[in-house]
């Protein structure tokens, strides 16, 4: 095949990587390049250097090493039977691109994934080699996220954790049966075993209180995974159960939800439609409730209909409308856990309320200054000067607090 | 009206000195005015007094103030203070607010400083109008600093010193000085400059210098790598997911003119609907046959009704088992482990959290208790075949942890398919069941552990069976004395097992 020029390759291999929803460059250990020979820093908090018109942030150079792949996963544009244009970067090309972009402050680092070529081991070796070159030859201290090839030798997974800030292996389909059908070369238990290995290694690398010697670092940014939504018929409740099980089992930092979106050269085994973006949004909200608000997956599922989250209202509001007997909550007295269940109050607002009420008894206008959405909060709280009366139990409460649906543009045909 | 003149728009120290002096003199917020030197501020109509001279050393109030203070009770507006201190929280917020572009920021800060006299906890009352206002401005400033870290774009230049990097940037607030050290830590080995309308920062790989305001034409207009960056930006955008509002919420239009990639936005947005419609409307293509022969083999799951003739084969069967739903949330099936000719088989309940990840039985806390007890009883674990009644970890997710759940009779029965095969292959002389669940699997009925423990029972396959407690029971006993007693009983059971081998 003729050598295609580097910009063309970049275009092909960035395009091929864009279906991976992960973009974070946060949560790693804090470090900078003072005293070093190279460049790069992470300050714990991630930085998004640009946003594309799909609303997603560009934080890392997210590319594939190659989009050649010996797997035939129906949902993937890079599957072996796809007619998509193929390209492959050399290790050096990825290293140079990363450094060139980083120096100009375009990115926080590299997110490197790959189609599987030759074997899992060979592919993983190539990914590790890129990270190793960046770290050891160029003393690069920016963020590196490597995709795990679950089939690869556990030793390679270990090496990856040595150089990378974050590792991820995508579960892709919430239903294991569907994975067997749509990705016949993948084995869900191999993916889970790799995630289990990462969890054990991350825990090993956490310094024990008594030990003085620091264990070698291993993926300080933890691990994440992705579930594709809308390709296998799994309802939301099943997806959230799966996430809860992944968070608990492997200590994942994030589960990403990626609405299955049309791909060029699609397989005939999957229906093409515009991606259900609102559904994806509701799943992220529900996931947030599990991670920061003390909700369990079954609790969120209580308000679901036929296993599906309400698209018109967010899952916390849906839960509250379903459990009105829990409300109203007295913002001046209620425990933090209960305040976290009030629709419209976020973790930050709740923390502010808890802190302020040590000095002042809150009125409704005080709450208004601590939250962005008083209309949503009002029916569910009491303050010094406010009680919702019958509003909490009003039959039309849902209509009052639910945002009015945006008018749909009628088709011209 | 009293007026203080500040040296620059970001002169926090000047404001601090002046404000301190004003408060010590009892100047009420309505009477205090702060102007920035050369910022086009004419002297106010009601200026009756010259700017307050910043005090050297600042803190102690002049002697005549002290004298007046003794004269009578403290009166609002006529009050004199002996010098004062304010919380760090206020100083931190004030440092941020000073960088805000709003003209009334000095007045807001002085109002807060004034109020702190009677309300020392004011900064903690974040619902207060003034505090909320200050915090909001501090947040805007912090956000502007964050956006500067994100949206500065260096361009490469060559000068007599070699390669250098220059950026032109227009921050939302005056955060250049504040944010420059970030770039110093990130790029200590590059010579770089960041030019802004408020001032500039220069790093020569040794020292950070600040300079005067700059103009856009002082920065280079292009960089060849920018074409690569734009290529990347365009390719990483998914046209099927257009969300322009979200993008603008994070990347405000005010920044666009200095972001090379932003010039592509209108075109990308305009083309997205067409691109998506084409993708949706295009029928599936014929699979690419040229690469078909390179396809990896399909994964075949081992059969659940496998009858194994070797232990490794049995392990494969356990991996593929779907005889009950427990496999779904477990990582893997955990088969037994040990020599095929083992005379002792120990049967536990089910793999726990650690066993599930490692794929080996008894490697977690209960396993360590068992190992220690076996050693003490004179039994070599490497001579023992260790397994579980149920091969998949039954649990319930609870936040970032998994809580163990006892398998029910149905799950134990389903899994006996594997345990019976293990017993058939290993043919142990003695089978030791740990706890009630293991007892159910080995004896076929739910035993009463405390009553039946320690008894040697003949099993149908000719082996001798015995029941004792599960080692995790010893771990859970809260009372030290009970633990010692129970462990001794457990040891007795193990010693008895050793004698009957």
User: What is the rounded CA–CA span in Å between residue A243 and residue A245?
Assistant: 5
CA B333 to each of CA A148, A238, B313: distance values in angstroms, whole numbers, following the listed order: 22, 22, 13
Query: What is the model's pLDDT at position B268?
Result: 95
DSSP assigned state of A59: -
Contact status, residue A126 vs residue A146, Cβ threshold 8 Å: no
- For chain A, positions 218-277, list CB contacts with chain B under 8 A: 244-245, 247-249, 251, 259, 261-268, 272-275, 277
Please check the confidence at residue B289 and state whether its pLDDT lies above 60: yes
- DSSP H/E element including B182: helix B176-186
Is A192 in contact with B402 (Cβ distance < 8 A)?
no
A128 CA to chain B: closest CA distance, Å?
A: 22
**Among the partner residues A82, A356, A360, nearest to B288 by beta-carbon distance:** A82
> What kind and span of H or E run contains B35?
strand B32-36
pLDDT of B259? 97
Q: Do B234 and A11 touch (CB under 8 A)?
A: yes
Contacts of B268 in chain A (CB under 8 A): 52-53
CB contact under 8 A, A104 and B154: yes
Mean per-residue pLDDT for B145-161? 96
Q: How far apart are the first and last CA of chain B?
A: 101
Nearest residue of chain A to residue B301 (CA atoms)? A187
- Reported as a single tens digit per residue, the pLDDT across B295-333 is 888 988 888 889 999 999 999 999 999 999 999 999 999
Average pLDDT for residues A157-179, to the nearest whole number? 94
Q: What average pLDDT score do residues B344-361 get? A: 96
Judged by DSSP in three states, A260 sits in: coil
Q: Which of A124-133, A301-310, B236-245, B277-286 has the lowest mean pLDDT?
A: B277-286
Identify the pLDDT of residue B49.
46
Select the residue of A53, A273, A360 nearest B280 (Cβ to Cβ). Answer: A273
Average pLDDT, rounded, for chain B: 90
Cα A53 from Cα B79, distance rounded (Å)? 58
Q: Are A184 and B298 a contacting pair at CB < 8 A?
A: yes
Dist CA B240 CA A56 (whole Å): 12
- Are residues A54 and B234, on separate chains, in Cβ contact within 8 Å? no
Indicate the range of A140-149, A253-262, B163-172, B280-289 predicted with least confidence: B280-289
Report the residue of chain A nearest B243, measured CA to CA.
A54
CA distance B168 to B152: 7
- SS3 at position A8: helix
User: Which residues, 6+ apart, have CB-to-CB distance to B498 below 8 Å?
Assistant: B377, B378, B379
Strand A60-64 relative to strand A109-113, pairing:
parallel
Between chains, do B295 and A38 touch, taking CB under 8 Å as contact? no
pLDDT at B73 over 80: no
**Interface contact A311, partner B, CB < 8 A:** no
Of the pLDDT bands very low, low, confident and very high (cuts 50, 70, 90), residue A209 is low
Among residues B417, B438, B442, B390, which one has the least CA distance to residue B302? B417
Instruction: Give the contacts of A93 (CB within 8 A, at least 6 positions apart).
Output: A6, A9
- pLDDT tier, B80 (very low <50, low <70, confident <90, very high otherwise): low
pLDDT at A406 over 60: no
Chosen for mutation from A12, A14, A71, A104 (greatest number of chain B CBs closer than 10 Å) is A104
Mean pLDDT calculated for residue range A115-142: 97
Q: State the pLDDT confidence band at A263, using cuts at 50, 70 and 90.
A: confident
**Other CB atoms within 10 Å distance of the CB of residue B430:** 21
Interface subset of A 47-76, CB within 8 angstroms of B: 47-58, 61-63, 70-72
Of B149, B151, B186, the CB nearest to A39: B186
Task: Establish if A10 touches chain B: CB-CB under 8 angstroms.
Answer: yes
SS3 letters across B467-495:
EECCHHHHHHCCCHHHHHHHHHHHHHHHH
Q: Which of A32, A80, A186 sits opposite B291 (nearest CB)?
A: A80
> How confident is residue B38, by pLDDT bands cut at 50, 70 and 90?
confident
From chain A, the residues in CB contact with B116 under 8 A are none
**Is residue A283 over pLDDT 80?**
yes
Contact A101 B332 (CB under 8 A): no
Q: How many CB atoms lie within 10 A of CB B63?
A: 8
pLDDT-above-90 percentage for chain A:
79
Structure tokens at B16: 């601090």
Show residues of chain B in contact with A12, CB under 8 Å: 235
Q: Which residues of A touch B121 (CB under 8 A)?
A: 359
Chain A residues near residue B317 by CB distance under 8 angstroms:
none
Nearest to B348 by CA among B438, B416, B466: B438
Angstrom distance (rounded) from CA B275 to CA B288: 22
Question: Inter-chain contact A106–B229, Cβ cutoff 8 Å?
Answer: yes
Question: Which residues does chain A have within 8 Å of residue B224's beta carbon, measured at their own beta carbons?
Answer: none
pLDDT of residue B66: 40
Pairing of strands B344-348, B208-211: unpaired
Give me the mean pLDDT over the B339-350 stretch: 97
Nearest-by-CA chain A residue for B278: A264
Q: What is the mean pLDDT of residues A73-82?
A: 91
Q: From chain A, pick out residues whose CB is under 8 angstroms from the CB of B235.
A: 10-12, 14-15, 18
* β-strand partners of B466: B432
Strands B344-348 and B430-434: parallel
Are B243 and A275 in contact (CB < 8 Å)? no
- Mutation for testing the B interface, residue in A49, A53, A269, A297 having most B CBs under 10 Å: A53
Number of H helices, E strands in chain B: 17, 14
Which position has the higher pLDDT, A191 or B60?
A: A191
Span B432-442, pLDDT tens digits: 999 999 999 99
> Considering only A178-182, A290-294, B171-175, which range has the smallest mean pLDDT?
A178-182
| Dihedral angle sign, alpha carbons of residues A141, A147, A150, A152 | negative
CA A22, B143, A360, A343 dihedral sign is negative
Contacts of B329 in chain A (CB under 8 A): 245, 249
The answer to whether A394 contacts chain B (CB < 8 Å) is no
How many Cβ atoms sit within 10 Å of the Cβ of residue A86? 20
Alpha-carbon span B4 to B13, nearest angstrom? 12
Strand locations in B257-321, DSSP E? none
The whole-chain average pLDDT of chain A stands at 91
| Bridging pattern class, strands B401-404 and B395-398 | antiparallel
DSSP, collapsed to helix, strand or coil, labels residue A329 as strand
pLDDT over threshold 90, residue A262: no
Q: Do the beta carbons of residue A73 and residue A39 sit within 8 Å?
A: no
Asked if A342 and A320 touch (Cβ cutoff 8 Å), the reply is yes
**Range A18-46 average pLDDT:** 92
B124 to A356: CB separation less than 8 angstroms, yes or no = yes
Query: What is the model's pLDDT at position B68?
Result: 39
Confidence tier at B377 by pLDDT (50, 70, 90):
very high
Rounded to an integer, what distance in angstroms lies between the CA atom of residue A91 and that of residue A112?
11
pLDDT in tens, A320-336: 999 999 999 999 999 99
Contacts of A104 in chain B (CB under 8 A): 153-156, 165, 223, 225-226, 229
Q: B279: pLDDT confidence band, cut at 50, 70 and 90?
A: confident
Task: Grade residue B64 by pLDDT with cuts at 50, 70 and 90.
Answer: very low
The answer for residues whose C-beta is within 8 angstroms of residue B462's C-beta and 6 or more apart is none
Q: Which residues contact B217 (CB under 8 A, 6 or more apart)?
A: none
The confidence band for A106, taking pLDDT boundaries of 50, 70 and 90, is very high
The alpha carbon dihedral of B220, B225, B227, B233 has a sign of: negative
CA A311 to chain B, closest CA, distance in angstroms equals: 17
Residue A267 C-alpha, separation from nearest chain B C-alpha, in angstroms? 6
**B15-22: average pLDDT:** 96
A409 touches chain B (CB under 8 A): no
Q: Which chain A residue has the Cα nearest residue B251?
A: A51
- The verdict on a CB contact (< 8 Å) between A105 and B245 is no
Of A34-38, A217-221, A302-306, B37-41, the one with minimum mean pLDDT is B37-41
Contact A275 B240 (CB under 8 A): yes
Closest to B434 (Cα-Cα) out of B472, B461, B405, B406: B472
How many residues in chain A?
Answer: 413
Q: Is A384 part of the contact surface with chain B (CB cutoff 8 Å)?
A: no
Mark yes or no for CB contact B187/A261 under 8 Å.
Answer: no
CA torsion sign for B440, B445, B447, B452 is negative
pLDDT of residue A273: 76
Cis ω for the linkage preceding A328 (within 30 of 0)? yes
Residue A228 burial by Cβ neighbours in a 10 Å radius (0-12, 13-18, 19+):
buried
The structure tokens listed for B193 are: 């400059």
Mean pLDDT, range B2-27, rounded to an integer: 95
Binary contact (A251, B400; C-beta < 8 A): yes
- Specify the pLDDT at position B11: 96
Distance in angstroms between the alpha carbons of the first and the last residue of chain A: 46
The nearest CA of chain B is from the CA of A390 a distance in Å of 27
DSSP assignments along A151-192, one per residue: TS-HHHHHHHHHH-SEEE---B-S-HHHHHHH-TT--HHHHH
pLDDT in tens, B164-194: 999 999 999 999 999 999 999 999 999 999 9
Of B142, B136, B75, B77, the residue nearest B108 (C-alpha) = B136
Q: What band does A392 get if pLDDT is binned at 50, 70 and 90?
A: confident
By residue count, chain B amounts to 501
- Opening angle at CA A44, ends A38 and A47, nearest 5: 80
Q: CB-based burial of residue A90 (10 Å sphere; 0-12 exposed, 13-18 middle, 19+ buried)?
A: middle
Residue A223 has pLDDT above 50, yes or no: yes
Strand partners, B208: B203
């Amino acid at each position: 095949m003729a050598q295609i020029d580097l910009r063309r390759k970049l275009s092909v291999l960035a395009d091929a990587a864009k279906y991976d929803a992960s973009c974070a460059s946060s949560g790693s250990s804090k470090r900078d390049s003072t005293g070093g020979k190279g460049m790069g820093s992470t300050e714990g908090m991630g930085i998004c250097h640009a946003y594309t018109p799909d609303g997603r942030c560009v934080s890392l150079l997210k590319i594939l090493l190659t989009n050649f792949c010996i797997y035939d996963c129906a949902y993937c544009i890079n599957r072996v039977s796809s007619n998509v244009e193929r390209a492959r970067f050399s290790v050096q090309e990825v290293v140079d691109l990363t450094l060139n972009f980083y120096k100009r402050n375009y990115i926080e680092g590299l997110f490197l994934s790959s189609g599987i070529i030759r074997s899992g081991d060979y592919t993983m070796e190539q990914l590790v080699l890129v990270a190793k070159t960046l770290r050891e030859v160029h003393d690069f201290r920016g963020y590196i996220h490597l995709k795990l090839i679950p089939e690869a030798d556990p030793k390679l997974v270990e090496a990856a954790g040595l150089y990378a800030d974050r590792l991820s292996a995508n579960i892709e389909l919430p239903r294991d049966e569907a994975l067997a059908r749509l990705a016949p070369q993948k084995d869900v238990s191999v993916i889970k075993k790799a995630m289990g290995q990462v969890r054990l290694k991350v825990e090993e690398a956490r310094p024990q209180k008594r030990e003085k010697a620091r264990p070698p670092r291993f993926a300080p940014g933890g691990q994440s995974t992705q579930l594709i939504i809308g390709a296998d018929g799994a309802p939301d409740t099943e997806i959230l159960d799966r996430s809860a099980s992944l968070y608990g089992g492997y200590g994942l930092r994030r589960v990403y939800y990626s609405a299955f979106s049309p791909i060029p050269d699609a397989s005939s085994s999957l229906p093409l439609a515009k991606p259900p973006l609102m559904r994806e949004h509701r799943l992220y909200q529900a996931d947030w409730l599990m991670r920061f608000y003390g909700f369990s997956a079954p609790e969120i599922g209580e308000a679901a209909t036929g296993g599906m989250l309400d698209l018109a209202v967010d899952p916390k509001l849906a839960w509250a409308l379903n459990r009105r007997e829990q409300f109203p909550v007295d913002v001046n007295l209620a425990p933090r856990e209960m305040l976290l269940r009030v629709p419209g109050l976020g973790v930050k607002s709740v923390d502010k309320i808890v802190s302020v009420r040590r000095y002042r008894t809150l009125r409704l206008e005080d709450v208004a200054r601590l939250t962005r959405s008083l209309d949503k909060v009002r029916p569910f709280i009491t303050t010094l000067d406010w009680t919702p009366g019958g509003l909490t139990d009003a039959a039309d409460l849902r209509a009052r607090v639910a945002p009015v649906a945006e008018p749909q543009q009628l088709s011209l045909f | 009206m009293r007026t203080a003149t500040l040296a620059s728009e970001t002169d926090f120290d000047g404001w601090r000195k002046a404000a301190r002096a004003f408060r010590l003199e009892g100047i009420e917020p309505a009477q205090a005015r702060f102007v920035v030197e050369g910022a086009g501020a004419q002297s106010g109509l009601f200026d009756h007094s010259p700017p307050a001279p910043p005090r050297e050393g600042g803190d102690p109030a002049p002697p005549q103030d002290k004298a007046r203070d003794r004269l009578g009770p403290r009166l609002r507006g006529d009050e004199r203070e002996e010098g004062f201190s304010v919380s760090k929280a206020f100083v931190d917020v004030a440092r941020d607010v000073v960088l805000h572009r709003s003209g009334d920021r000095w007045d807001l800060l002085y109002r807060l400083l004034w109020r702190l006299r009677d309300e020392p906890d004011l900064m903690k009352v974040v619902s207060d109008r003034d505090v909320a206002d200050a915090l909001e401005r501090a947040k805007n400033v912090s956000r502007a600093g964050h956006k500067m870290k994100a949206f500065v774009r260096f361009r490469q230049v060559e000068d007599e010193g070699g390669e250098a990097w220059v950026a032109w940037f227009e921050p939302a607030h005056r955060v250049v000085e504040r944010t420059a050290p970030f770039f110093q830590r990130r790029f200590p080995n590059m010579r770089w400059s960041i030019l802004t309308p408020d001032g500039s920062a220069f790093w020569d790989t040794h020292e950070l210098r600040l300079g005067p305001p700059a103009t856009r034409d002082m920065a280079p207009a292009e960089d060849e790598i920018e074409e690569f960056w734009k290529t990347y930006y365009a390719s990483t955008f998914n046209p099927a997911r257009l969300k322009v509002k979200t993008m603008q919420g994070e990347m405000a239009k005010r920044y666009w003119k200095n972001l090379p990639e932003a010039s592509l936005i209108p075109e990308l947005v305009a083309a997205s609907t067409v691109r998506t419609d084409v993708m949706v409307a295009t029928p599936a293509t014929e699979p690419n046959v040229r690469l078909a022969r390179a396809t990896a083999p399909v994964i075949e799951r081992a059969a659940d009704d496998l009858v194994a003739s070797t232990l490794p084969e049995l392990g494969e069967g356990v991996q593929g088992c779907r005889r009950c739903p427990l496999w779904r949330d477990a990582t893997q099936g955990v088969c037994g482990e040990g020599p095929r000719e083992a005379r002792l088989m120990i049967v536990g309940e089910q793999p726990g959290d650690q066993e599930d990840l490692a794929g080996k039985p008894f490697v977690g806390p209960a396993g360590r208790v068992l190992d220690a007890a076996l050693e003490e009883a004179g039994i070599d674990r490497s001579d023992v075949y260790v397994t579980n009644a149920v091969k998949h970890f039954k649990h319930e997710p609870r936040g970032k942890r998994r809580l163990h759940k006892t398998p029910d009779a149905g799950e134990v029965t389903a899994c006996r398919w594997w345990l019976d095969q293990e017993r058939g292959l290993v043919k142990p002389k003695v089978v030791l069941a740990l706890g009630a669940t293991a007892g159910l699997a080995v004896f076929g009925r739910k035993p009463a552990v405390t009553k039946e423990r320690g008894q040697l029972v003949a099993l149908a396959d000719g082996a001798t069976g015995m029941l004792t407690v599960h080692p995790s029971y010893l771990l859970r006993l809260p009372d030290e004395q009970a633990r010692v007693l129970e462990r001794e009983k457990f040891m007795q059971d193990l010693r008895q097992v050793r004698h009957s081998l």
